[in-house]
Amino acid sequence: MTLLSASWGVSLLGKSLSRWRSNGRRLGIVVLFIVAGTGLWEFQERQHKDAYTWMGVPTWEAFSPTTMHRVLRNDGYLVGWSDVRINPLWVSYQVEAVGDDTRIGSRPNFQADWRTLWPIGTGDYAGSGYDRGHMAPNYAIAAVHGRSAQVDTFLMSNMTPQRPQLNRQLWQRLEEAVMDHFAPRFDHLQVITGPVFPANFMDNVFNRVGFVEVPEAFYKIIVAPHSDAPLALAFVMPQDVRGNEPLDDYLVTIDEIEALTGLNFFPDLSADVEAVLEGELRTQGWALEEVSRRPGRFQ
DNA sequence: TTTAATGT
């Protein structure tokens, strides 16, 4: 009797041990999948970010609701999306020189982006007096990165309200200079662009088109990332312009844009390179005088 | 007039 119960006890113990072992094996496989999957995701994420940024994606200092954002990945460009401003705080993309005769596909339709959480419809800007202004531009992205990237630039998460005189004149002239003048000079450029808001959030909190807060200005940073001595050019352009102003009237340093936006651009730069690239206004090498007063194509 | 966009 005691022998029987003892053997029963041993076999029970053996069963629970083997179950424990097979559960353990199953758990091991699950953990392996999580580790491998996370690693693969990290790898792809980094590859994607490296392809569209130089010296790191923009970051924000400490806790700040108006500058914190999350990165949306698109074909051809990245977006730093703010659920507070309900705006793309920055877009990052790279361009290369393309031929003068480069033709792109016809303009795609604007499209809603469910990732914004806020429902931003394609018709929300109608009658507002503001254009749906691209941050990552249609032409440059299409010419360099192809059709599916071009389609992505028409996501509403890439739009922010721009006065027509700015969007169709001064800003368009700047975008044209990037592709027709700067890209051929340097072969390869890193561009970061986005909106500027008033210093006091409450001053502007109800100034919106639909859900989207209206910026007071826009910045564009253009970098020629030479390995030894990178060059940078930066602009801030306000909403209220005539459109025919010289581009170089709006030159600023990257430090000034960081002060206006609360963002830190190119966080991976070494301190000594950063001090020169971001703190000094240097226009040598860009031949700005050749494009500064070029007229717009849409008069 | 499509390297911008609106409104018809």
Query: Which of residues 59-88 of A have CB within 7 Å of strand B?
Result: none
Planar angle of CA A96, A249, A89, nearest 5 degrees: 55
DSSP state of A133: E
pTM over 0.85: yes
Rounded CA separation A112/A125 (Å): 13
Rounded CA separation A19/A278 (Å): 62
Kindly state the tokens that stand for A89.
């705080």
Task: State, as a whole number of angstroms, the distance between the CA of A207 and the C1' of B7.
Answer: 24
Rounded CA separation A193/A45 (Å): 21
Q: Which residue is nearest to nucleotide B5 (CA to C1')?
A: A131
- Judged against a pLDDT cut of 90, whether residue A25 lies above it is answered with no
Rounded CA separation A298/A154 (Å): 20
CB of residue A278 closer than 7 A to nucleic acid strand B? no
pLDDT (tens digit, 9 = 90+) per residue, A243-291? 999 999 999 999 999 999 999 999 999 999 999 999 999 999 999 999 9
Measured between alpha carbons, how far apart are the two ends of chain A, in Å?
A: 104
Task: State, as a whole number of angstroms, the distance between the CA of A142 and the C1' of B4.
Answer: 15
Q: What is the mean pLDDT of residues A131-135?
A: 98
Rounded CA separation A162/A217 (Å): 9
Q: At what angle do helices A271-279 and A254-261 cross, to 10 degrees?
A: 90
The burial of A180, by beta-carbon neighbours within 10 Å (0-12 exposed, 13-18 middle, 19 or more buried), is given as middle
CB of residue A98 closer than 7 A to nucleic acid strand B? no
Share of chain A above pLDDT 70, in %: 92
A195, A69 in Cβ contact below 8 A? no
pLDDT (tens digit, 9 = 90+) per residue, A64-81? 999 999 999 999 999 999
A250, A235 in Cβ contact below 8 A? yes
List the catalytic residue out of A69, A134, A145, A181.
A134
The reported pLDDT for the residue numbered A4 is 42
The reported pLDDT for the residue numbered A51 is 79
pLDDT (tens digit, 9 = 90+) per residue, A198-224? 999 999 999 999 999 999 999 999 999
Task: State, as a whole number of angstroms, the distance between the CA of A152 and the C1' of B8.
Answer: 27
A96, A103 in Cβ contact below 8 A? no
- Judged against a pLDDT cut of 90, whether residue A11 lies above it is answered with no
